[in-house]
Amino acid sequence: MQAQAPLELIRGDSNDVRASVIWLHGLGADGYDFAPVVDMLNLAQVRFILPHAPSMAVTRNNGYVMPAWYDLYSPSESQQEDQAGIRRSEDYLNSLIENEIKRGIASDKIVLAGFSQGGAIALHSATRYPKKLAGVLALSTYLPLKPALAKEAHVANLATPIFMAHGKSDDIISLERALASLSILQASGFTVHWHEYAMAHSVCAEEINDIRLFLTGLLQQDLVE
């Protein structure tokens, strides 16, 4: 995958980084989309990696070219999914994980995060990754390629906490679709912490606070004063 170098955000001295969060944006956005949220999280000793998806023609959007982690063919996944595109993005995310490990961050201090389409890649990749991760943030999203999970799931991250959050009035990815993914993840033995918020396809202040508490618990970091 040809991708622009990710945005990296660190609060404080980069020499003190002890954990990494790799956060994938949604369809049509870029790595800068969640930079304000990272600022609000206010976490020290954490490197936030915010990748930029490559641009591609998205079938569901009449072939309009936009940043996307994979192609979309219909409003639901009842029809064909872009398996090749999903797996290309999985490979790219895995390369970012391995790069953090080479920089001295243990895999169990790395969190995969994503919103919407980016969250789908985070979920897909984390359930298959062969090394223990710190956790997963799956925001306003769903699990792609569900039929393949039973065969491809890796035991390394069955106990890895997954923070899965969704808006009760989401009209892009329905709450029902997210709940169906939740059921499959739980039935497969994954550890999912489910959250619902009074919002649409977005993030809210309450959710950001819950994410901060989740990350500080996982990474055992103190908030910046």
Residues marked active site are found at 116, 170, 201
Rounded Cα distance between 114 and 89, Å, is 12
Instruction: Starting at the earlier edge strand, list the strands of the sheet with 135-139.
Output: 7-10, 46-50, 19-24, 110-115, 135-139, 161-167, 191-197
Rounded Cα distance between 225 and 223, Å, is 6
The long-range contacts involving 58-61, CB below 8 angstroms and separated by at least 24 positions, are 58/27
Q: CB neighbours of 225 closer than 8 A, spacing ≥ 6?
A: none
Rounded Cα distance between 146 and 153, Å, is 10
Residue 66 is inside which H or E element, if any? Answer: strand 64-67
